[in-house]
Structure 1
C-alpha cells in the first residue's frame, strides 16, 4: 500500500526434491507438511478418517446421541482434539473413549470442568495442557504433570472463580494480547497473561458455554451439542449462521458431516470440494507457511497434514469480503485482494483487519485497471500482474508504483497464479503450469507441461 515501508516479504516455501508437481506429491511449505489424503474433520487423529462408524456400535451411539454434549473440548500438546465426557475422553473425532485417569492419573476420575492448551511460543508454558476440576487446575507438559500442581485456580489465575464451565486460550494476533477467556454461566472473563489482570466482559451474544475451543484461529462456544463461532474481542456472533450441530463439524457420526445437507446437489457442493477440478480464482501464501486457494466465495487453507484442507466463506477470515475474487497476493503482513476494479488490503498481523479507507480503486493503488492473476515471489518486492496473454511488473517498494510495459506470456488466459521458492505456478481450469521463475515465464515460447492441480496441490 502507498506509504508502507518497502520491506522484503520474508516468505519461504520449502520445496521437495525437483519441486512440486514432478512426482504428484503434495507441496511442502514453510514449517508445515500438507495433507496427503482426503480432508479430515478437525478432531481426526493422524491416519484416522470418518466414514467407518456404525449406528450399531455402542461407542458411536454414545458419542453421537442427542444428549451427547461434552464437558470440555481442546487440542492436546500434539494438536489432537480431545473430547471430555464424564470420566472418559475421546482422543480424536471417532473411535473408543479412554478413562481420563489412564492418561492423567493424578487427576483422578472425571468429569473435567474445562480444558485448554496454551500454544503461543512467547509463553513460558508453550504447549501445556490445562485441566480444571472444581477449585483446582492441573498443568501437563509433554504428558507429565508440572511440578507444584495441582494449584488453586485463584492462585494460578488471580480472581478467576472455580467450578468453571469452559475456557479458551486467546492469541495476541487475534485478541490484541495473550490471554484466556473464561466462561461461567452467563459471565465472561478475560485474563491477561502478561499483566496478570482479570476483566469481566459484557457479552450479550455468547455465554453459557459448556465447552470452548480455538481451532484454525477461530473461536467456538459449545452449548450442548450446538456451537457458535464468536469474535474473541467483541463477542459478536456472525448473523444468520449459528447455532450449528457439532456432529456435522467436529465429531464423526453416521450420515452426518460438514455440508451433508448439500451433498445431494453436486452443483452446490462442488465449490467446497477441493477435488472437484473446478477453476480456482486466486492463490496466496503467507509468512507462516500457509497456502490459500479461492473459489466461488470460499477459500481453502492448508496449515498441516493434521489440519487438512477445509472450505470456508471468505467473510469468516476477511470481514466485508464476499463473492468471487479475481486475484490475491501477500506483501509483508498485508493481504491484497483484487475484485474487479477495487482492491481490499487486510492486516494479517492484526486479526485480518481491513485497512481504513479500503477498498480503493485498483488504478489508484497499483496503477492497473484490472487483473486475471497476481503474484509476488519470496524475498522480492516485485508484483507481477497477468491480464489476458500479457504480464506487467510493479515494484511494491517504490511509492510511485508505475507498472512496467507488458510482456507476452505463452498463455491466452490464466485463472490464478502463485510463486514459491520452487518457482511460478499458473492455474487454468483443472491444471497448472510450472516455471522456474518469472523471467522464465516471460521468456517462454510455449506453455510448460500441464499438471493436475487437484493431485499435486490438494493431494486428491
Structure 2
C-alpha cells in the first residue's frame, strides 16, 4: 500500500509540474490584484482616455519605424509610455474604432514592404511613413480576397516563421491564413486552444494574442499556446503606475498575485504526500503547502482537457480512472458535470474538484459521476490556505 501511495503522489506531482495550464476568459480574478500602489483612474486629470484602465485594446501593431501602436476607440497610444492621441490626428482620414491592424512584411515587393494596414468594418486603410497610400481605403474583399469583414485581430507572419510571408486574420474562433504565394491563398483554421484574440502583434520574433487586457504567446503555425498563463498587458507592454516587471517586479500585479496564496488566482494542481501535507502548484514557483490531510491511494483522477492536457475547457467533460499498478486506463471515460477543471485531488475525506478560487467536494468518484448538480462551492483560500 505504501508503494501505491507513493506512486500516486509522485504521479500527481509530476503531472502538475510537467503541464502548463492557460487561464481562459471568464476565470476568476486571473489578472490578480496589486497591493503595491495600484493605478487609480481618478488620477487622470486630462479627460483623455487612459491606456492603463482594464479595457484592453482593439488593435495593436508596429509601424514602419518599429514603434508600437495601441488602438482603443478613437484613441491611439504610441510607444511604451506615449500620451493619448486621436487616431485622425495620426492617421489622416481615419477614425476609430479600429478592428485590426498589422505591418506588412514582404521583401520581394519593396513598395509593399513595411506598409501598415488598418481595418474597420468592411474597409482597409494603408499608410507608409505616416502618409496614406494611394488607392486606399478599399474594401477588404478587394485588397485581401477571401478575408471577411469586421475582423477581430490581425498579425503578420514572416517567412521562416510561417511557410511564406503571410497574415493571420482572426474573427471569432476562425483564423484566416492569408498567403498570396500559396494555392489556395486563404486557408481557414480553427484554433480552439488559443481562444479569441481582440488584438495580435509580432514582437521580437514572437507572436502574441491579446484578449482584453491579458495576452498570451502562441505558435503562428499551429495556434498552440506557448505561455503557461495569460499575463497583464500593463505589466509588460505599456508603462502604468504601480505596475511593471524586471527591476520593478514588486509592482507586477500578475507575478505578485501568483506568489500570493490568498490572491484568489486559480491553482494549476493540488497533491499531497505521505506526511499529510497538501501541495498547491501555481506558476512554476515553489509549491504552497498547507493542511494535514492524508494521501488517498485508490485511484488517480485525470481530467480530459480537449486535445492537449494544458487546455482548460473540454467540450466532452470526461474523466479517466487509471489503475496505478498497471498505469493503464481502467474502464471507459465517463462524463462529469464540470465543464472546466483546474485540478482534482483524492484523499481520505473524499474527492476535490478545483476551479478558479473555488473547490467542490464529493464523497467519492461515484458521487461525482452520479451528480446532476454541482455542490455548493467552497473557498480554496479560506479552507486550504488559511487566509
**TM-score, normalization by structure 1:** 0.43
Residue 50 of structure 2 contacts residue 84 of structure 2 at CA under 8 Å; is this kept in 1? no
Residue 187 of structure 1 contacts residue 207 of structure 1 at CA under 8 Å; is this kept in 2? no
Q: Could you list the per-position Cα deviations for residues 102-142 of structure 1 after superposition, in whole angstroms to 9, with x for gaps in the alignment?
A: 122222x2111111001342334111010111001011112
- Are residues 262 and 139 of structure 1, via their aligned partners in 2, closer, same or farther at CA, if it must alter by over 3 Å? closer
Q: Distance in 2 between matches of 1:146 and 1:64?
A: 32
Shift of 1:260: 6.9
Shift of 1:193: 2.7
The match for 2:215 is: 227
Shift of 1:259: 4.3
Shift of 1:58: 4.0
Shift of 1:89: 0.6
Q: Distance in 2 between matches of 1:82 and 1:95?
A: 9
Q: Could you list the per-position Cα deviations for residues 126-163 of structure 1 after superposition, in whole angstroms to 9, with x for gaps in the alignment?
A: 11010111001011112221111111101111110000
The match for 1:141 is: 128
- Are residues 143 and 249 of structure 1, via their aligned partners in 2, closer, same or farther at CA, if it must alter by over 3 Å? same
The match for 1:175 is: 162
Q: Does 1:123 align with 2:100?
A: no
- Are residues 121 and 95 of structure 1, via their aligned partners in 2, closer, same or farther at CA, if it must alter by over 3 Å? same
The match for 1:73 is: 60
Shift of 1:175: 0.8
Shift of 1:261: 7.9
Q: Distance in 1 between matches of 2:130 and 2:49?
A: 29
Q: Distance in 2 between matches of 1:79 and 1:221?
A: 19
Q: Distance in 1 between matches of 2:83 and 2:40?
A: 12
Q: Higher mean Cα deviation, 242-251 or 190-199?
A: 190-199
Q: Distance in 1 between matches of 2:96 and 2:241?
A: 27
Q: Does 1:102 align with 2:98?
A: no
Q: Distance in 2 between matches of 1:62 and 1:103?
A: 17
**TM-score, normalization by structure 2:** 0.51
The match for 1:86 is: 73
- SS of the aligned residue for 1:74 comes to strand
Q: Does 1:243 align with 2:230?
A: yes
The match for 1:369 is: none
The match for 1:213 is: 201
Q: Does 1:157 align with 2:153?
A: no
Q: Distance in 1 between matches of 2:226 and 2:247?
A: 21
- Are residues 253 and 262 of structure 1, via their aligned partners in 2, closer, same or farther at CA, if it must alter by over 3 Å? closer
The match for 2:180 is: 193
Residue 248 of structure 1 contacts residue 260 of structure 1 at CA under 8 Å; is this kept in 2? no
The match for 1:252 is: 239
Residue 191 of structure 2 contacts residue 223 of structure 2 at CA under 8 Å; is this kept in 1? yes
Q: Distance in 1 between matches of 2:79 and 2:133?
A: 24
Q: Distance in 2 between matches of 1:223 and 1:137?
A: 22
Q: Distance in 2 between matches of 1:170 and 1:207?
A: 19
- Are residues 261 and 91 of structure 1, via their aligned partners in 2, closer, same or farther at CA, if it must alter by over 3 Å? closer
Equivalent residue runs for 1:265-280 within 5 Å:
none
- SS of the aligned residue for 2:209 comes to strand
The match for 2:365 is: none
Q: Distance in 2 between matches of 1:65 and 1:100?
A: 18
- Are residues 155 and 97 of structure 1, via their aligned partners in 2, closer, same or farther at CA, if it must alter by over 3 Å? same
RMSD (CA atoms): 2.7
Equivalent residue runs for 1:250-329 within 5 Å:
250-259=237-246, 262-263=249-250
Q: Does 1:202 align with 2:194?
A: no
Gaps of 5+ in 1: 1-52, 269-460
- SS of the aligned residue for 1:106 comes to coil
Residue 180 of structure 1 contacts residue 190 of structure 1 at CA under 8 Å; is this kept in 2? yes
Residue 49 of structure 2 contacts residue 75 of structure 2 at CA under 8 Å; is this kept in 1? no
- SS of the aligned residue for 2:141 comes to helix
Q: Could you list the per-position Cα deviations for residues 265-292 of structure 1 after superposition, in whole angstroms to 9, with x for gaps in the alignment?
A: xxx9xxxxxxxxxxxxxxxxxxxxxxxx
